[in-house]
Amino acid sequence: MNEFYKFIGLVLFTALVKTRAISDYWKTNSIFSIPFPATVMNRDRYRIIAWNIHMRDPDEDAINDSKKGTPEYDRLFRLKALMNDIRHACLSCFHPHRNLAVDERMVASKLRNGLIEYIMSKLTKYGFKIFVLADASNGYTVDYAVYIGKNTFPVGFGMSYDAVMSLVRPSILGSGHHVYLDNYFSSPKRFKDLFDMEMGACGTLRKGRLGFPRSEENALTKKSPGGSLRWIRDGSLLFVKWKDAREVSMGSTIHQAYGGETIKRKHKGKSHESIPVPTPILEYNKNIVDLSDQLITYFSAQRKTIKWYRTLFYHFVDIATTNSYIIHKDLCKVNKMQPMTHKEFTQVLVAQLCQVSIESRSKPKNMRHTPVPIKRVADKSKRSSAG
């Protein structure tokens, strides 16, 4: 097991120190050679471990593969044990703050695999899609589910509905949280169901969603000035429309429609001016940022692989290390201590996994050298002179 810890340590080291190829970390005949990896593990041993990573007994994998095309076949069988262990650790090691966000995360990959998805609106357009519940205040990955098609969740009320209801579980999280959703996940029914679970919700809404108000009375028009807003309530659920560069529709069971907030906008031929902005929109913009994805990409262990399950294995390593850093920051805040930077934390983690000291090696003592006199130049014309 110690050897595998060292392997993970080197994986994280490669996230800190980038090269074009893995073999570059073991170069010895170059001025650009990196000495550390070879002191932990030789190159061939590293490759053998990387090429033979399995999260299940290969014989059990073969039995599952023989069930392809039947209801008993499990598409995530190869990594489900590790995936569930990481999920359990995410849920048990940290209790999230009040504000949560549900989002789609893409793990980059262009492998020919039935699990690869394409999402045009994402920065990473091709890859494995993961539904993520994150702490909106610090980016901690609270829970997640890998998308495998229509059977991803057992609920059966539609993928976006099932994703939210499967990740936001009061039995584990408790009540009183505020859940922020983009328009893929949000709907009037979802907001009301979360409210019945004692969970607040806020998010952008598509006009065509079932339950969205159809009244055209006092509606916004194309000629409505910037900052115009309209709202209506349906019990606990507030609907808000706001005119910015385009019309924005929101739903919330948390906020009032407008609390006097403003935002600066520049119009053609005019300087910046303040216009009213609804409270739900301000709060949504604060809490729906992909902070979780940003933190994971800073020092990602991700690399190109031939096997699809290894790509997700490295992403689970990213989740574990990033969440560990977030917990470190929160503990330092509670104890009024100065936290390490993300880079410093990863460096310490690499040293611990590789079982070495992070301190630099002591420099060799200076060797004594006998001074040698400079040969005098006989010809004065050859001597250097100022200017």
* pLDDT, tens digit (0-9, with 9 covering 90-100), for 140-180: 999 999 999 888 888 778 899 999 999 999 999 999 999 99
Report d(CA 177, CA 167) in Å as an integer. Answer: 13
The pLDDT of residue 387: 46
The pLDDT of residue 385: 52
pLDDT band at 60 (very low <50, low <70, confident <90, very high): very high
Give the pairing of strands 141-146 and 116-118: unpaired
Mean pLDDT score of the chain:
88
Report d(CA 59, CA 44) in Å as an integer. Answer: 25
Tell me what percent of the residues of the chain surpass a pLDDT of 70: 91
Q: What is the three-class DSSP state of 152?
A: coil
Q: Highest mean pLDDT range out of 276-290, 292-306, 317-331, 347-361?
A: 317-331
The residue written with tokens 């902070």 in the block is: 291
Q: Which helix (H) or strand (E) holds 316?
A: helix 308-334
Please determine, for residue 4, whether its predicted confidence score (pLDDT) is greater than 80: yes
| DSSP single-letter state for residue 248 | E
* pLDDT, tens digit (0-9, with 9 covering 90-100), for 188-212: 999 999 999 999 999 999 887 888 8
Domain ranges in the chain?
Answer: 94-298
The pLDDT of residue 269: 64
Report d(CA 9, CA 348) in Å as an integer. Answer: 10
Please determine, for residue 362, whether its predicted confidence score (pLDDT) is greater than 50: no
Report d(CA 9, CA 346) in Å as an integer. Answer: 9
Orientation angle between helical segments 2-16 and 43-51, nearest 10 degrees: 100
Give the pairing of strands 262-266 and 272-276: antiparallel
* pLDDT, tens digit (0-9, with 9 covering 90-100), for 229-271: 989 999 999 999 998 888 899 999 999 999 999 888 876 666 7
211-240 in b/e form (b: 16+ CB < 10 A) is bebeeeeeebeeeeeebbbbbeeeeebbbb
C-beta separation of 201 from 253 below 8 A:
yes
The pLDDT of residue 153: 87
Residue whose C-alpha is closest to residue 313's, from 201, 146, 171: 146
Q: Name which residue leads in pLDDT, 100 or 220.
A: 100
Please determine, for residue 382, whether its predicted confidence score (pLDDT) is greater than 70: no
Please determine, for residue 360, whether its predicted confidence score (pLDDT) is greater than 70: no
Count of all residues that appear for the chain in the document: 387
C-beta separation of 314 from 303 below 8 A:
yes
Please determine, for residue 282, whether its predicted confidence score (pLDDT) is greater than 60: yes
Report d(CA 13, CA 153) in Å as an integer. Answer: 36
The pLDDT of residue 188: 93
pLDDT band at 72 (very low <50, low <70, confident <90, very high): very high
* pLDDT, tens digit (0-9, with 9 covering 90-100), for 14-41: 999 998 888 899 998 878 889 999 999 9
Report d(CA 107, CA 381) in Å as an integer. Answer: 71
Report d(CA 131, CA 100) in Å as an integer. Answer: 13
Report d(CA 337, CA 339) in Å as an integer. Answer: 6
The pLDDT of residue 278: 94
Mean pLDDT, rounded, for 50-66: 92
Mean pLDDT is lowest, of 81-95, 122-136, 289-303, 353-367, for 353-367
The pLDDT of residue 182: 92
Q: Which helix (H) or strand (E) holds 141?
A: strand 141-146
Report d(CA 54, CA 48) in Å as an integer. Answer: 12
The pLDDT of residue 367: 47
Please determine, for residue 101, whether its predicted confidence score (pLDDT) is greater than 90: yes
Using only C-alpha atoms, the chain has a radius of gyration, in whole angstroms, of 28
Report d(CA 110, CA 95) in Å as an integer. Answer: 35
The pLDDT of residue 372: 56
